[in-house]
Chain A
């Protein structure tokens, strides 16, 4: 009987934690969506200019096309009009945690200025956010330590954006780039020697000719 009650309790407590909505956050054992906003307009928008839908994949396989990266989204930049309503379908192709985290949105609509979808493993979730009207570039990244650093970084440009963010794979330069060895070989040495000879010989013959002509 005691055992039965125990299982009963376990069963109910398990129900209680699945898919709850809490302070603008829906979360369950698959992941969470934070500050999804399908209907409230930013103060500077009179109406929604257009509805756009982006499907964003995340995983280590999307980093293969970039040398020296480990994780990436399948796209690195999205462009939208001012006051767009954006639907994100976020798909995680890895067996680990990934995030679609966007920063810098107005804090009165999105606490901490964030819209965030997180997946605890393979799967997908969706959410909405409406962007304000002014031109701005928003950071999109996964904040699991070393995921953004190793390539999972992108940007969302509203009305063309106001800048390019650094270190976006294939798109923008890092602030602190890596150094690589240079492949000096016989040919490059030969070219250097040849260049020295040419650099010497050209002016030398010109000078000789000038002297002779005098």
Chain B
């Protein structure tokens, strides 16, 4: 009798437990929580928009006889490196070279083969550098490279051969300016004999395939030269080197990338733009444009037709792929996880980079700075997995080349959205004549991919590849666009991209559109739940101890 009563009670108690069970989210009809105040947030996450490290580099220079255009950006390229990229290490003084982080054997320019006043044998050495890689020595990445505030995906890049420390400063963990995304733009002159040596400093095999650049599949010495390890020579393994040779007969904006496990290695960042400039007399071209962006020493042919030149390199990162190299140190584990466990057909793109940065860091070095009535040559490469639709606010540009090949005049259409397939390059003529067609007048005009995923950083907007066409009068002394302070403070913030800050946390609306607070725990229900659970346990214990059928045998 007692037993049956207890079992009945047990059932009732179980039902009430179900009713009392706590939940992370509860409906609240009248007791509406207040807005979380800013002071309740743990850290500000604020990042200095412009560190203004090398303000003196923004001016125009003449170094080693090389004319270097002014570069008004927050992070201008080092003019001594530009001079070395133009002349080659063999034609600059030790004083100039000491102002750079370049290795003495990384670039030589010799032999004026066609007698037109510029060197035609170009020897380049490239390394493979991992950014934001794993370290067994602690919970951090090395060398650190932020694509946006607090965002450090694992990346691989080709880099010009450097020397010395990998960090920016002694005792810093931040990569110095030559070790960055994207892989640098390589520039040669049409007809140059180019020897590019890949020195594989990485722990996986790699190659370079020169996509669209005129190069022989097999060299006269019988060596394979296409960089594809399936149809040609084996990949360049760690600690090894290989020299690729070419003498491009056609000019144009081309591409290069690693062809080992291309789906992964290209997306990890082993791709860059390769520009063949038209042959002209006395045409010393800037062999590298590290970080892409403004070309501070444009070629003779570009100067004939344009006031300025910019390289715009777009890439996208899959965070699942990028974190593989940050989760293990053993190369065998990394190889297995990347090659056989990761499945690219189930992958997505999370980070969208223009010249190695996502907004707002694109404002530091990847804007297009213009003056009225200029013609600007934009070379654009889509190194993403997905197609792009580049859109310019306030401007309609004219497309002049597809994949390095000039279009007939009738085909050079003027548009404000340009579709670019993966690996495709287009050259645009951006004019800043205020005629209501080419330009709507001065401004801080955005330009970005209009496939909307591209303007996010892992889904957080505004981010991704957003940048601006900015008229020079609208730049401040540090090269940042003159915009309201409030958005600058909001977006130069690690917490914003960590999705911790409400998007419209401003003014009167801080309270109206901030984060709703949390409900208090209902302690009455909590205590009831505890008491009932204890009672259930006691009844169960009692029932188990009593042999069935008889209540009080012992």
- Count residues of B near A (Cβ-Cβ below 8 Å): 53
Which one of B90, B119, B137 contacts A167 once the chains associate, using CB atoms below 8 Å?
Answer: B137
> Could you tell me the distance between the alpha carbons of A80 and B135 in the complex, rounded to whole angstroms?
28
Tell me the A50-85 residues at the B interface (CB within 8 Å).
Answer: 59-60, 67-71
For residue A176, give the distance in angstroms from its CB to the closest CB of chain B. 6
* B201 / chain A contacts, CB cutoff of 8 Å: 96-97, 144-147
* A96 / chain B contacts, CB cutoff of 8 Å: 127, 199-201, 239-241
Tell me the B151-172 residues at the A interface (CB within 8 Å).
Answer: 161, 163-166, 170
For residue A154, give the distance in angstroms from its CB to the closest CB of chain B. 14
Q: A71-B239, A118-B164 are in contact. Are A17 and B94 (CB under 8 A)?
A: yes
Tell me the B89-121 residues at the A interface (CB within 8 Å).
Answer: 89-94, 97-98, 103-105, 110-112, 115, 117, 119
The answer to the question of A95 belonging to the interface, with a C-beta cut-off of 8 Å to chain B, is yes
* A59 / chain B contacts, CB cutoff of 8 Å: 239
Q: A17-B104, A95-B239, A121-B241 are in contact. Are A145 and B143 (CB under 8 A)?
A: yes
> Could you tell me the distance between the alpha carbons of A14 and B90 in the complex, rounded to whole angstroms?
5
The answer to the question of A39 belonging to the interface, with a C-beta cut-off of 8 Å to chain B, is no
Contact A145–B105 (Cβ < 8 Å): no
> Could you tell me the distance between the alpha carbons of A22 and B239 in the complex, rounded to whole angstroms?
29
Q: Closest residue to A67 on the B side, CB-wise?
A: B330
The answer to the question of A16 belonging to the interface, with a C-beta cut-off of 8 Å to chain B, is yes
Contact A3–B112 (Cβ < 8 Å): yes
Q: Closest residue to A15 on the B side, CB-wise?
A: B90
> Could you tell me the distance between the alpha carbons of A16 and B104 in the complex, rounded to whole angstroms?
12
> Could you tell me the distance between the alpha carbons of A34 and B330 in the complex, rounded to whole angstroms?
31
Which one of A13, A29, A70, A95 contacts B105 once the chains associate, using CB atoms below 8 Å?
Answer: A29
Contact A149–B199 (Cβ < 8 Å): no
Tell me the B338-397 residues at the A interface (CB within 8 Å).
Answer: none
Scoring A10, A144, A145 by chain B CB atoms within 10 A of each residue's CB, the highest score goes to A145
A135-146 near B? 1/0 per residue, CB < 8 Å: 000000001111
For residue A175, give the distance in angstroms from its CB to the closest CB of chain B. 5
> Could you tell me the distance between the alpha carbons of A147 and B201 in the complex, rounded to whole angstroms?
8
Q: A27-B104, A121-B199, A145-B143 are in contact. Are A17 and B240 (CB under 8 A)?
A: no
* A97 / chain B contacts, CB cutoff of 8 Å: 103, 127, 161, 163, 199, 201
Contact A150–B165 (Cβ < 8 Å): no
The answer to the question of B273 belonging to the interface, with a C-beta cut-off of 8 Å to chain A, is no
B residues adjacent to A (C-beta < 8 A)? 89-94, 97-98, 103-105, 110-112, 115, 117, 119, 127, 129-131, 133-139, 142-143, 161, 163-166, 170, 175, 179, 199-203, 238-241, 328-333
CB-CB nearest 10 A-B residue pairs:
A174-B136, A68-B330, A94-B239, A60-B239, A70-B203, A95-B241, A167-B136, A96-B199, A29-B105, A29-B104
